[in-house]
A and B are shown apart, each in its own frame.
Chain A
Amino acid sequence: MSTRVRGRVWRFGDDVDTDAMAPWNTISLPFEERRRHVLQIRPEFARDVKPGDVIVAGRNWGCGSSREHAPENLKRLGVGGVVAESFGRIYFRNGIAMAFPQLACPGIHAACAEGDDLEFDVRSGRVVNHTRGTELEAPPYTDQMLAILEAGGLLEVLQRRRAAAGATGRA
Chain B
Amino acid sequence: MGMTMAEKVLARASGRDAVTPGAYVTAKADRVMAHEAFTICALKLLKLGIESVFDPERVLVILDHYFPAPTEQMARGHALARELSERFAIRHFLGHAGICHQVLTERGHILPGQLVFGSDSHSTTYGALGAAGNGIGLTEMTYVLATGELWLRVPPTIRFELDGELQPGVMSKDVMLYLTGAFGTDVAQYRAIEYAGEAAERMTIASRMTLANMGAELGAKFAFFAADERTREYLAPRVGGDVPRFGPDADARYEAVHRVHVGGLEPQIACPSNPGNVKPVSEVRGVRVHQAFLGSCTNARLEDLAVAARILRGRAVCDRTRLIVTPASHQVYLDATRAGYTEILLEAGAHITASGCGACPGGHNGVVGPGEVCLSSTNRNFRGRMGSPEADIYLASPASVAAAAVAGEIVDPREFWGSP
Interface residues of A, Cβ cutoff 8 Å to B: 15, 17, 19-20, 23-25, 28, 40-41, 59-60, 63-68, 86-90, 93-94, 97-98, 142, 144, 153-155, 157-159, 161-162, 167, 169-171
Within B318-366, which residues are at the interface with A (CB < 8 Å)?
361-363
Q: Closest B-chain residue to A95, C-beta based? A: B137
> Which residue of B137, B219, B382, B389 is within 8 Å of A60 (Cβ)?
B219
> Other than the known A66-B119, A159-B48, what 5 A-B pairs have Cβ atoms closer than 8 Å?
A15-B274, A63-B186, A66-B120, A66-B135, A68-B137
How many pairs of A and B residues are in contact by the CB < 8 Å rule? 115
Is B147 engaged at the interface, CB distance under 8 Å to the other chain? yes
21 A-B contacts (beta carbon < 8 Å): A24-B361, A24-B362, A59-B186, A60-B189, A65-B380, A67-B137, A68-B137, A68-B139, A88-B219, A89-B189, A144-B24, A153-B139, A154-B140, A154-B142, A155-B48, A157-B143, A158-B50, A158-B143, A169-B51, A170-B50, A170-B51
Is B121 engaged at the interface, CB distance under 8 Å to the other chain? yes
> Which residue of A89, A93, A158 is within 8 Å of B48 (Cβ)?
A158
How many angstroms between the C-alpha atoms of A97 and B138 in the bound complex? Answer: 9
How many angstroms between the C-alpha atoms of A59 and B190 in the bound complex? Answer: 13
Within B26-55, which residues are at the interface with A (CB < 8 Å)?
44, 48-52, 54
Q: Which 3 A-B pairs have the closest CB atoms?
A: A171-B146, A94-B137, A97-B139
Whether B143 lies near A154 (C-beta < 8 A) is yes
Q: Closest A-chain residue to B276, C-beta based? A: A15
Whether B142 lies near A155 (C-beta < 8 A) is yes
How many angstroms between the C-alpha atoms of A70 and B174 in the bound complex? Answer: 30
Scoring B residues 127 to 141 as 1 if CB is less than 8 Å from chain A, else 0, what string do you get? 000000001111110
> Which residue of A24, A41, A66, A157 is within 8 Å of B137 (Cβ)?
A66
Whether A167 lies near B49 (C-beta < 8 A) is yes
Q: Is the interface of B mostly helix, strand, loop or mixed?
A: loop
CB distance from B372 to the nearest CB of A (A): 16
Q: Closest A-chain residue to B277, C-beta based? A: A15
Whether B139 lies near A86 (C-beta < 8 A) is no
Query: In the complex, which residues of chain A have a beta carbon less than 8 angstroms from the beta carbon of B135?
Result: 66, 90
How many angstroms between the C-alpha atoms of A20 and B389 in the bound complex? Answer: 10
> Which residue of A28, A93, A167 is within 8 Å of B136 (Cβ)?
A93
Q: Closest A-chain residue to B153, C-beta based? A: A142
Is B183 engaged at the interface, CB distance under 8 Å to the other chain? no
How many angstroms between the C-alpha atoms of A169 and B146 in the bound complex? Answer: 10
